[in-house]
Amino acid sequence: MASDGPAAAPDDPVTADPPWWLFRGDGRILEEADRDRRWPAPPPWRTFRGGPALPTPVADEFETSRRLGEAAITRKADPAVVEMVNAAITLARPLIVTGRPGSGKSSLAYLVARELGLGPVLRWSITTRTTVNSGLYSYDAFGRAQALGAREQSGIGNFVHLGPLGTALLPHRLPRVLLIDELDKSDVDLPNDLLTVFEDGEFPILELLRVRDREPAVTVHTADLGVTAPVNDGVVRCRAFPIVVITSNGERDFPAPFLRRALTIAMPDPDPDMLADMVAAHFGDRDGEQTAELIRTFTDHRERKKELAADQLLNAVHLVVSGSAPTSDPAEWHRLLDRIWHRLGLG
């Protein structure tokens, strides 16, 4: 039988990837038909009963480009990272991503969403005051009382707003990507509270439970701008468990039960080639002399100061590209770089 074309090289990344991988980490968008055909069924103990299925919202191209850059990524992400992302997808388990600031932990969620066509990333930034309920939903009781007092014809759903976690648990046909950013900053109880939600794949909205006899189906607001969704019988039930990317800077350990039910991966520091690709994605110049020199200088600073983030390199490149950098005076330029590339932290 005649061949359709030349055989792929042995090191061709397309043929080298294991067949069960959906995410490749190289910026190439997987065709929708291929994605749907190959999407893995979850383990029996990770199946959920939500429905009817909701469509995937349209991707936020502006936010994606802001995070990842305009140009396509040409260098493949670390194979160990790509493997663990695919394992998390196949097992329907959260992925805990550790690494130093600027190693690309948060960007990983945006790369997964773009490559697999899973709509906007749902980002939940964690502080010491964050509770699991704040990620699930909020209810404007005061606004509801005002509307009732004014005899306004406004349903209870207008006063319910799902948070990023609650929106991710809606019964979407395909998983949404949920970024839980810097979970290690949270109160000590939050990981265990999250574990319950992750295991159940559903949660009640108490205010809707009280009226479900009169209003079994209520349309509520979601974390997707301008998008609403129906909630049946006062309970949000997941259909496809979201791809949960949990970032941590290693400020504290998580409880053992939480770690047992999640996968973990450490992001490596970007090497010079990865830094060059990152610069090219944002500025379109990978191999320019100024870019190469800045990357060499940045790498040297990082080796000496240990705690530099990759976006600090982007700051320097922008100064050069915009014409603001005093590059005609090397001494002044290096003094400015020393200030821009300060150590992260006070130690």
Can you give the pLDDT at residue 165? 98
Q: For residue 234, how many C-alpha atoms fall within 13 Å in the half-sphere facing its CB?
A: 14
Q: For residue 283, how many C-alpha atoms fall within 13 Å in the half-sphere facing its CB?
A: 22
Residues 261 and 276 placed together within one structural domain of the fold: no
Mean pLDDT of 270-289: 80
Residues 226 and 118 placed together within one structural domain of the fold: yes
Q: Extract the tokens encoding 288.
A: 């320019």
Q: Is residue 205 part of a domain?
A: yes
Residues 211 and 72 placed together within one structural domain of the fold: yes
- Of 266, 285, 318, at which residue does a domain stop? 266
Residues 69 and 150 placed together within one structural domain of the fold: yes
CB 145 within 8 A of CB 213: no
Q: How many CB atoms lie within 10 A of CB 218?
A: 21
Can you give the pLDDT at residue 75? 62
Can you give the pLDDT at residue 325? 84
Residues 217 and 309 placed together within one structural domain of the fold: no
Residues 81 and 205 placed together within one structural domain of the fold: yes
Range with the largest mean pLDDT of 63-67, 242-246, 305-309: 242-246
**pLDDT reading at 178 higher than 70:** yes
Percent of the chain exceeding pLDDT 90 equals 58
Least confident range from 145-149, 176-180, 194-198: namely 145-149
**What pTM was estimated for this model as a whole?**
0.88
- Using CA atoms, how far residue 219 sits from 11, 160, 232, in Å, is 51, 9, 9
Q: Which of 173, 230, 207 is nearest to 48 (CA)?
A: 173
**pLDDT reading at 274 higher than 60:** yes
**pLDDT reading at 13 higher than 50:** no
Can you give the pLDDT at residue 4? 43
Percent of the chain exceeding pLDDT 70 equals 91
- Of 251, 266, 281, at which residue does a domain stop? 266
Mean pLDDT of 314-325: 87
Scanning the chain, the segments in alpha helix (DSSP H) are: 13-16, 32-38, 61-68, 79-91, 105-116, 132-136, 141-149, 164-168, 190-200, 206-209, 256-260, 272-283, 289-305, 310-321, 330-340
Q: Which of 164, 250, 159 is nearest to 208 (CA)?
A: 159
Q: Which domain holds residue 38?
A: 29-266
Residues 39 and 176 placed together within one structural domain of the fold: yes
Domain count, the chain: 2
- Give the single-character DSSP code of 11: T
Q: Is residue 214 part of a domain?
A: yes
**pLDDT reading at 271 higher than 90:** no
Residues 171 and 99 placed together within one structural domain of the fold: yes
**pLDDT reading at 5 higher than 50:** no
Residues 193 and 278 placed together within one structural domain of the fold: no
**pLDDT reading at 107 higher than 70:** yes
Can you give the pLDDT at residue 71? 60
Count of residues in the chain: 347
Can you give the pLDDT at residue 270? 85
**pLDDT reading at 1 higher than 80:** no
Q: Hey, which residues does 231 pair with through a beta bridge? A: 218
Apex 237 CA angle, 235 and 241, nearest 5: 155
- Of 208, 237, 266, at which residue does a domain stop? 266
Least confident range from 7-16, 106-115, 169-178, 230-239: namely 7-16
**pLDDT reading at 291 higher than 70:** yes
pLDDT tens-digit series, residues 198-237: 999 999 999 999 999 999 999 999 999 999 999 999 999 9
Least confident range from 67-81, 114-128, 146-160, 308-322: namely 67-81
Q: Over the chain, what is the mean pLDDT? A: 88
Q: Hey, which residues does 236 pair with through a beta bridge? A: 203
Query: What is the pairing mode between strands 95-98 and 243-248?
Result: parallel
